């Protein structure tokens, strides 16, 4: 085989690519991970606007789905980050309950300062996340199994300790006005202050994932673990950090609910386990990791919340909401696969455009 | 005589009670291509892992330009100018070209807590680096790696190594999954790297590819260095025999010949 050793590089054509960028902006938009999610959110919103009998666009209805979205979103965002890194967290339900009960016992039952209760409640989430991360990275047992075990273990621990200490499965607490304002007010009687917490979480996590180098490591770890190790990314540290973040998110919602409802119940929170995964997947995050966006997860959360609450504004029985969610989930995954394939053909598409021009 | 860029002094590797590599001594000069040949299980991948800092040798030393060194991690090996590119390029299919190029060494701008990854710079550098290796189809750093072909991914990984100051480039079966045209391009990139003074260690099954670009050949059999020779010292047949374990291949051929003889003797007469 003859190999000629001529110089490899003709003139770089970066400038040429810049010229094309205007023409392919729409194409680029369609190929982003959140495109499918955007279509989903708009579709369900329009759907319930039509079938919601005029009430769906009222302030009360908007508040009802925004409240659901806010609490779910605070958990779904860090869970989404973890899924982009290729791991699952099924323990968020029990973390929420444990954090909630911790706050109620410390500040309600033992009458200690509310700030201490909140700090300990959040600590419960961070510590659980740390243990999840440590076990997953050290033992290589799939996170599905590890966090499922944590979810059951922590639920049992919470129930057992609550009964031993208080003799009951629900504990009440009376937060002072300041903590009420920060964590659990209903603004104008219907808007949960949690929406602001969600907004803060969106900004922080969006920054971390899409702007910092740490975000690049998250994509790398989920995209190809072995290659990430070879390039020197501290894979275990990244994963443990993300498990801690999802624990913190769940614990924060535990605090918000406890302050809002002036009490805690050991059975709270389990619905968040699957709802957070549904929101993340509808939002275009690849279940096996390496692909996704914060905007997508936010849209997925909104879609979930709109369906979850929108059904009450139609004339149908609310029993059908789960059916819609199930179909939506399947449809969203199929649509997201299509959009991902489009994204992967992006490079070749540019080539075609270029050929036409020359 | 000058000091070789890379020298292995009687490297051995044992895992528990099994010995995978025995007493491997090799040297490669700067700007030369060493082809590492051998059958599956001959110990090539273990040797690569030792060279790339994934595993430490049980005994023996590695020298770069005459200085003995030991690698704590793959990143540490990179710091010494040794980069390994695996068969599928070791890149991230769903990341952009610019982002994957800089994984683990992201360029940043701004100050904490608003320190950000300089994606624009990353994209420009990555596109320029890959275009210098003749991949002109990639013009946009935000293109996903998954939209590149196998050869282009190899080129991306090699461009990355070149950008981060490669002295010795280890290529693990770079052409195995490629078509003829793409394989030729990768070989051309190897020749180009060699011309710029980079040492290349090429691990391959393909004798044609090895003979095209190799200056020096080393054959591993059962974890030991079976042969170590320069360009033109052995014929293609001799190299193929060595790779297949020599004697075993000759026996197989003899067996096939006997089988053919016995079957042709009984071939039924063809009709029509």
Its domain, for residue B41, covers 1-81+203-265
CATH number of A36-339: 1.10.3470
Q: Which member of B144, B184, B188 has the closest CB to residue A8?
A: B188
pLDDT tens figures, B126-184: 999 999 888 888 888 888 898 888 888 888 999 999 999 899 999 988 888 888 888 99
Write the ipTM: 0.81
Helices (H) and strands (E) in chain B, counts: 9, 12
Per-residue pLDDT of chain B (272 residues; tens, 9 = 90+): 578 888 998 899 988 888 889 899 998 888 899 999 888 778 888 999 999 888 899 999 999 888 898 888 888 898 899 999 887 766 788 899 999 999 988 898 888 778 889 999 999 999 999 998 888 888 888 888 988 888 888 889 999 999 998 999 999 888 888 888 889 999 999 998 888 889 999 998 888 888 889 999 998 888 888 888 888 888 888 888 777 765 666 677 788 888 888 776 665 555 54
Cβ of residue B138 closer than 8 Å to a chain A Cβ: yes
Cβ of residue B123 closer than 8 Å to a chain A Cβ: no
Q: Give bridge partners of residue A265 from the DSSP assignment.
A: A170
**Subunit contact B195:A5, Cβ cutoff 8 A:** yes
Distances (CA, A) of A104 to A151, A169, B219: 20, 11, 70
**Is B53 part of a structural domain of the chain?**
yes
Cβ of residue B226 closer than 8 Å to a chain A Cβ: no
**Subunit contact A212:B117, Cβ cutoff 8 A:** yes
**Subunit contact B213:A3, Cβ cutoff 8 A:** yes
Q: Which member of B75, B90, B133 has the closest CB to residue A227?
A: B90
**Subunit contact A350:B93, Cβ cutoff 8 A:** no
Most A CBs within 10 A among B45, B76, B86, B139, hence the mutation to make, goes to B139
Closest chain B C-alpha to A286 CA, distance in angstroms: 10
**Is B154 part of a structural domain of the chain?**
no
**Could you tell me the residue ranges of all domains in chain A?**
36-339
Q: Find the CATH number of the domain harbouring B58.
A: 3.40.50.300
Nearest to A339 by CA among A19, A34, A15: A34
Q: Which member of A16, A213, A351 has the closest CB to residue B106?
A: A213
Chain A residues lying within 8 Å of B82, measured CB to CB: none
Domain count, chain B: 1
pLDDT at B89: 67
Burial of A292 (0-12, 13-18, 19+ CB in 10 A): buried
Q: Is the dihedral of CA B197, B203, B209, B215 positive or negative?
A: positive
**Is B115 part of a structural domain of the chain?**
no
**Is B130 part of a structural domain of the chain?**
no
**Subunit contact A216:B78, Cβ cutoff 8 A:** no
**Is B189 part of a structural domain of the chain?**
no
Cβ of residue B134 closer than 8 Å to a chain A Cβ: yes
**Is B171 part of a structural domain of the chain?**
no
DSSP states along B58-87: SEEEEEETTEEE--SSHHHHHHTTEEEE-T
């Amino acid at each position: 085989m003859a190999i000629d050793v001529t110089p490899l590089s003709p003139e770089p054509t970066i400038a040429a690519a810049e010229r094309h960028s205007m023409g392919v902006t729409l194409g680029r938009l369609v190929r982003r991970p959140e495109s499918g999610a955007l279509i989903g959110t708009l579709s369900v919103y329009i759907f319930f606007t039509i079938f919601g009998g005029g009430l769906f666009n009222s302030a009360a209805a908007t508040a009802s789905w925004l409240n659901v979205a806010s609490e779910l979103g605070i958990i779904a965002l860090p869970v989404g980050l973890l899924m982009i890194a290729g791991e699952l967290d099924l323990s968020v339900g029990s973390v929420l309950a444990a954090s909630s009960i911790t706050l109620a016992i410390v500040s309600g039952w033992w009458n200690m300062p509310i700030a201490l209760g909140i700090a300990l409640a959040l600590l419960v989430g961070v510590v659980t996340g740390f243990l999840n991360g440590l076990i997953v990275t050290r033992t290589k047992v799939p996170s599905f199994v590890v966090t499922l075990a944590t979810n059951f273990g922590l639920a049992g621990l919470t129930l057992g300790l609550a009964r031993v200490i208080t003799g009951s499965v629900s504990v009440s607490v009376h937060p002072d006005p300041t903590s009420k304002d920060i964590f659990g007010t209903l603004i104008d009687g219907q808007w949960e202050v949690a929406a602001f917490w969600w907004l803060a979480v969106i900004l922080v996590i969006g920054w971390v994932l899409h702007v910092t180098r740490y975000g690049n490591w998250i994509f790398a770890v989920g995209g190809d673990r072995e290659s990430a190790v070879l390039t020197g990314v501290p894979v275990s540290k990244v994963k443990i950090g993300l498990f801690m973040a999802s624990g913190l998110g769940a614990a924060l919602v535990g605090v918000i609910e406890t302050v809002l409802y002036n009490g805690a119940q050991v059975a709270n929170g389990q619905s968040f386990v699957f709802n957070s995964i549904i929101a993340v997947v509808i939002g275009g995050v690849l279940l096996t990791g390496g692909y996704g966006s914060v905007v997508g997860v936010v849209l997925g959360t909104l879609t979930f919340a709109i369906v979850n609450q929108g059904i009450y504004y139609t004339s149908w029985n609310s029993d059908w909401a789960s059916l819609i969610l199930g179909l939506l989930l399947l449809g969203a995954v199929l649509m997201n696969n299509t959009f991902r394939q489009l994204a992967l053909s992006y490079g070749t598409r540019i080539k075609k455009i270029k050929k036409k021009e020359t | 005589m000058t000091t070789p860029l890379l020298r292995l002094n009687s490297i051995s590797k044992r895992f528990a009670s099994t010995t995978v590599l025995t007493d491997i001594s090799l040297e490669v000069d700067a700007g030369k291509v060493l082809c590492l040949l051998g059958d599956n299980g001959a110990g090539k991948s273990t040797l690569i892992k030792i060279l790339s800092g994934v595993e430490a040798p049980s005994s023996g030393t590695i020298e770069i330009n005459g200085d003995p060194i030991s690698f704590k991690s793959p990143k540490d090996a990179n710091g010494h100018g040794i980069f390994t590119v695996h068969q599928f390029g070791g890149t991230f299919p769903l990341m952009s070209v610019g982002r994957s190029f800089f994984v683990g060494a992201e360029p940043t701008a701004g100050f904490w807590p608003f320190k950000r990854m300089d994606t624009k710079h990353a994209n420009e550098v990555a596109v320029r680096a890959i275009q210098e290796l003749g991949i002109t189809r990639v013009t946009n750093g935000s293109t996903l790696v998954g939209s590149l072909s196998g050869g282009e991914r190899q080129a991306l990984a090699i461009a990355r190594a070149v950008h981060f100051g490669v002295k010795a480039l280890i290529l693990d079966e770079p052409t195995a999954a490629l078509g003829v045209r793409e394989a030729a391009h990768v070989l051309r990139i190897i020749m180009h790297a060699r011309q710029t003074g980079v040492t290349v260690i090429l691990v391959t099954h393909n004798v044609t590819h090895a003979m095209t670009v190799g200056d020096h050949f080393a054959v591993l059999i059962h974890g030991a260095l079976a042969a170590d020779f320069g360009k033109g010292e052995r014929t293609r047949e001799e190299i193929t025999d060595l790779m297949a374990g020599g004697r075993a291949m000759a026996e197989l051929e003899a067996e096939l010949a006997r089988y053919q003889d016995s079957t042709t003797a009984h071939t039924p007469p063809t009709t029509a």
